[in-house]
Every structure is written in structure tokens, then in C-alpha cells.
């Protein structure tokens, strides 16, 4: 939450505003408190939209739709004024990040969490459809992640199932990467359209990637892929893949109903999220309680010392209420993994007696013996593998049994043998048979801000013929480790040679990426291997292709 700025209102209706939560195309959202003391999210419409009659109709429709659905699986509407000079709506505040924020910060969700997410979203959509509505814009940014399960928000383009709607020629209703084929064709989608979007959201939650691409080749290509192309489901397996494939059937009649989906899934469990996400939610709840104390202290300044004590107690109460057992490092939940080992560890490991090295990144979550508690990524010059691992022993060392979930290139990875992690001071000694190394606690889980943006440079280090005129462009986004966040474009005097997306595999001192998907390919173009970016002062970046020794000094462009 950001502080209120001088131009922000201090009250909307009967709600006192406390800070800024964010902004979107429709308006700005504030955290507020109602007259009764309840925390609320207040959406205030952008001034430039107020005079548009079509927008006002859309806003009224959003408020009406949200009221009809209720609040069990959504954010309930508590108050609204759609006719004032500046329309607004106040909903119950849902204390949690959006699904896309969660995946960007923590990486793809484990299988059990994705299935729980599927159950929660299916319940939410069933409530929407039971009111005679179709959401039409289900996407990760419209799903809030809470300890009690997901919540669906934003009914800005929801429509009644039986409404007679005339769509303007050329109008695109929905978010292209998550809309259904019938929406792409300009047809009015029914409930099956929301099921298709559900499949896309679940694929994103499980892989960190949009199943029909990121739209980097242009909107027409993305829409064609949604309407006619096969989804990219690499890394998905088992019941998640089966469910996603069924939801992404091109024809509405071939998709499962929500009732069938719910029959195939377990209910949302009490603890459906990995421990590190629960910990983050606990800190957020503690922050809200601390905010309460600050307000109280402001009203009674002579008792400030009591407010400080209350804040400490609030942190404990909030964490306990959300299932978090506070430990020395602020992480943990009930389970068998030693609290000191929770979190993400990274380092280089090698095979005894050789110069063969691998980068290994392990994220440990809390859980019981036999449960999945780790996400593992292993990288060398020629490929990378991702694993999910179950806890087989926790004393005196953590022992894990890993199974592969994804490999680049496909088919290169097999299930790993048992591996052992042992605390050694503030580091972890990792070992499996004749491979071992030291892991340290990872500092970054996403691309640092100083590296983000577009960088260009000319290749060096190859033969004169091979490198002459080869220009490289890197568009580095803000994605989390494990997601495709770098676009690599290679061109010579004749034009574009290769265009690919690369997955971020490390964001420590050097930024390491591995090309994982081709966007445009011509004869002789290959994905390539591990690539490294090293900051050079305040405005430079050095790129290296570790397999060939090729390099380039990059500048912002």
C-alpha cells in the first residue's frame, strides 16, 4: 500500500481513505475504513471516463453483477454510488495479492495448490453462473489469493447469460491471452467461455507461462493462436494437465461443466498454499493490524508505548490466525522441515574429480514427511531441469526425493536420486552420490530493477565471418525466477535471424537465463544455451554465451 498523495480525497461516501492500493484502466483503488470500522477497498473512477455514457453503463453493470454474486467467493459490494459526479464502489477488503503477483514473486504453484485453486475458482464461477451471469474476463490479475482460498474480482465486462448484446464491429471484449475462442471470433460467450479462461489461468498458475504465448509477436498472432493453435503445456502432467486440456477444448460443447470439474476435485483444503506464501500473507495481516495500532496511537498519543506493545502482539496474533508459527527468520508453519532451512538456497555443485558444474536452486517450504516440500531447478550450459521433491527425512539432515516436472530441451531430464541438505553455519551443504556443493540463501527472486529494460550490442568473440554485423537485443522484464522474462532477438544486415524467449534461472550477482521457446525461427537458428548478464557500472551490461564464449557489451536503447 502506498501513502495518500496531496491530490487524493480523504473521504469517499462515508469511508475514510487510508492509502493507495493500486490503479487500473477503470479507476484508482484505495484502502479505506467504513463508519463501522471495517476495512474496505474503494474504487474511484478516473475523471476522464466519467463523461462517457457507455462507461457509466459498464460501471453500473459491474456493481450490479458483483452485488448479485455475493461475497463467498468474491469481494462483496458494501456500498456504491454509480450516479455521482465521480462514481465509486466500496467492496470488502480481501487481504491477499493477485494470482499473477503471487506467481511472479514465488514461482509456479505446486500441484496440490493448483488443484485447490481449480476447486475454488470453479466454485466462484458456479456462483457467478447461478446468478445468470458470465464473467468473461477471468485472468490471474482478477484472482485474489487468500489463506481461505481464491477470490474472483472485477465484473466490469460481465454479462447476463440471456442478455441481448450487440458487439461493436472490431471491439475486443476481454483479455486476449485468457479469452475463449468464441470471444476471439466476436461471439457472445456463455458459461463455457469462462471454463476455457479457467483452463488458461490454471496453466499459468502451474507453469508461470500463458498457454497461448505472451503476445510478443503481435495481437493478431496471439488471437489466431487462441482461436486455432495448440496450447503450450510443457511442464504440466497428471491431473492438472488433464483438467487444463479438457478446459481448453476449442469447441464450447466439448469442455467440462463446472459441476463435472468440481466432482473431479477435492474441496479447497485448510492449508492450500506453500508455506512461503502463507508467511507473506501473515506479514500482510500483521501490517494491517499494525496500521490499526497507528490509527489508535494517533487518537491517543499519550499512550504510544501501549500501541507499540499492541503492534508486537498483533503480529503474533495475525501470524497465528493464518497458520504461521513464528520462527527466528520469520518463516515457517506446522511441519517437519527445520525452520532455519525454509526459503530459497542457491549455489554451484560439481561432480567429484571433474570440472562438471551445475547451478542448483532449491526452495524449501514447510510440510510433513512424505509431502512435497521443495521446488528444485538445475542448470548447466546445455539445458535446465525443474523438479518437485517430497520430504523423506528431516533429521539430522533434510532428505528429498525429486521427480521431474519440466526439462529444456524436452526429454533431457530424469527423476533424481535422493539428495541431502545439511545446515553448515549460515549455509547448506548439498549432496547426492558423488555430486556436492555449498548453497547460500538466495537474495533475489526476480530481475533487479537496475537490469530491466531494452539492451542492445554487437557480438564479439566469434570468428570474424560468424560475428560480422550480428546485433543482439535483449528485452529484460521484471519476472520471477522460473518464468520467461527475457526476449532475445538476433539480427544481421539482412534482418531478423532468431527471436526467442528465455527463462530466468538465477537473479543473484549475475542474471542467468536459458532460452526456452522460439518465437520466430529461420534456417540455422537454434535456441542456444545458458546466457549470463553482468552489470557494468551504472549504465552498462555485459552479455556472455557461456557455451561458445561469445560476448557483447550492451547499452540501453
How many other CB atoms sit within 10 Å of the CB of residue 133?
24
Residue 475 annotated among the catalytic residues of the structure: no
Of the candidates 152, 145, 441, 463, the residue with the CA atom closest to the CA atom of residue 322: 145
How many other CB atoms sit within 10 Å of the CB of residue 484?
24
Whether residue 139 is annotated as binding a ligand: the answer is: no
Q: Which of 85, 100, 137, 445 is catalytic?
A: 137
How many other CB atoms sit within 10 Å of the CB of residue 242?
12
The three three-digit cell numbers of residue 401, written as one number: 526425493
Q: Which residues contact 328 (CB under 8 A, 6 or more apart)?
A: 339, 340
The three three-digit cell numbers of residue 276, written as one number: 512461503
Helices and strands, number each (H, E), in the chain: 11, 26
CA angle 23, 201, 231 (to 5 degrees): 125
Q: Which residues contact 159 (CB under 8 A, 6 or more apart)?
A: 61, 133, 134, 136, 165, 188
Distance between CA 489 and CA 501 in Å, rounded? 9
User: What's the chain's length in residues?
Assistant: 557
Give the neighbor-by-neighbor strand order of the sheet with 11-12.
Answer: 11-12, 15-23, 27-33, 39-45, 88-92, 77-81
Residues belonging to the binding site for ATP are 43
Q: Which residues are tagged catalytic?
A: 137
Binding site as annotated, residues:
43
Amino acid at each position: 500500500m502506498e501513502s495518500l498523495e496531496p491530490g487524493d480525497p480523504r473521504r469517499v461516501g462515508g469511508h475514510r481513505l487510508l492509502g493507495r492500493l493500486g490503479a487500473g484502466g477503470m479507476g484508482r483503488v484505495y484502502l479505506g475504513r467504513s463508519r463501522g470500522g471495517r476495512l474496505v477497498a474503494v474504487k474511484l473512477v478516473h475523471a476522464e471516463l466519467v463523461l462517457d455514457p457507455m462507461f457509466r453503463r459498464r460501471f453500473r453493470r459491474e456493481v450490479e453483477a458483483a452485488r448479485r454474486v455475493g461475497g463467498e467467493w468474491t469481494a462483496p459490494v458494501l456500498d456504491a454510488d454509480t450516479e455521482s459526479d465521480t462514481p465509486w464502489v466500496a467492496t470488502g477488503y480481501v487481504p491477499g495479492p493477485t494470482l499473477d503477483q503471487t506467481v511472479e514473486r514465488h514461482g509456479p504453484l505446486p500441484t496440490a495448490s493448483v488443484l485447490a485453486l481449480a476447486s475454488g475458482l470453479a466454485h466462484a464461477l458456479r456462483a457467478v453462473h447461478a446468478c445468470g451471469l458470465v464473467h468473461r474476463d477471468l485472468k490471474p490479475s482478477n484472482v485474489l489469493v487468500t489463506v481461505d482460498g481464491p477470490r474472483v474480482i472485477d465484473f466490469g465486462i460481465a454479462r447476463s447469460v440471456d442478455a441481448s448484446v450487440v458487439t461493436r464491429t472490431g471491439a475486443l471484449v476481454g483479455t486476449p491471452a485468457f479469452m475463449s475462442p468464441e470471444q476471439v471470433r466476436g461471439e457472445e460467450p456463455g458459461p463455457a467461455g469462462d471454463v476455457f479462461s479457467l483452463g488458461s489461468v490454471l496453466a499459468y498458475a502451474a507453469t508461470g507461462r500463458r498457454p497461448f504465448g505472451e503476445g510478443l509477436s503481435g495481437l493478431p498472432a496471439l488471437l489466431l493462436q487462441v482461436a486455432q493453435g495448440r496450447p503450450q503445456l510443457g511442464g504440466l502432467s497428471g491431473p492438472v494437465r488433464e483438467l487444463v486440456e479438457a478446459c481448453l477444448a476449442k469447441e464450447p460443447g466439448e469442455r467440462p461443466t463446472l459441476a463435472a470439474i468440481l466432482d473431479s476435485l477435492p474441496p479447497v483444503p485448510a492449508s492450500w498454499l506453500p508455506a512461503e506464501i502463507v508467511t507473506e500473507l501473515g506479514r500482510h495481516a500483521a501490517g494491517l493490524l499494525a496500521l490499526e495500532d497507528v490509527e489508535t496511537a494517533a487518537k491517543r498519543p499519550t499512550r504510544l508505548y501501549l500501541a507499540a506493545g499492541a503492534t508486537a502482539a498483533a503480529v503474533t496474533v495475525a501470524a497465528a490466525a493464518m497458520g504461521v508459527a513464528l520462527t527466528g527468520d520469520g518463516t515457517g508453519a506446522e511441519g517437519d522441515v527445520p525452520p532455519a532451512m525454509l526459503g530459497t538456497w542457491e549455489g554451484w555443485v560439481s561432480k567429484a574429480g571433474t570440472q562438471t558444474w551445475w547451478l542448483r536452486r532449491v526452495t524449501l517450504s514447510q510440510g510433513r514427511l512424505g509431502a512435497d516440500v521443495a521446488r528444485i531447478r538445475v542448470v548447466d550450459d546445455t539445458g535446465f531441469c525443474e523438479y518437485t521433491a517430497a520430504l523423506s527425512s528431516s533429521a539430522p539432515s533434510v532428505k528429498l526425493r525429486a521427480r521431474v516436472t519440466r526439462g529444456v530441451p524436452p526429454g533431457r531430464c530424469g527423476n533424481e536420486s535422493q539428495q541431502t541438505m545439511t545446515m553448515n553455519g549460515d549455509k547448506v551443504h548439498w549432496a547426492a552420490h558423488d555430486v556436492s556443493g555449498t548453497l547460500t540463501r538466495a537474495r533475489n527472486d526476480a530481475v533487479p530493477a537496475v537490469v530491466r529494460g531494452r539492451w542492445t550490442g554487437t557480438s564479439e568473440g566469434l570468428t570474424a565471418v560468424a560475428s560480422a554485423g550480428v546485433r543482439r537485443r535483449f528485452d529484460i522484464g521484471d519476472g520471477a525466477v522460473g518464468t520467461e522474462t527475457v526476449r532475445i532477438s538476433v539480427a544481421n544486415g539482412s534482418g531478423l535471424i532468431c527471436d526467442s524467449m528465455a527463462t530466468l534461472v538465477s537473479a543473484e550477482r549475475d542474471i542467468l537465463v536459458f532460452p526456452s521457446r522460439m518465437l520466430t525461427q529461420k534456417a540455422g537458428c537454434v535456441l542456444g544455451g545458458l546466457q549470463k548478464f553482468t552489470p557494468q557500472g551504472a549504465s552498462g551490461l555485459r552479455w556472455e554465451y557461456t557455451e561458445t564464449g561469445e560476448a557483447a557489451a550492451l547499452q540501453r536503447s
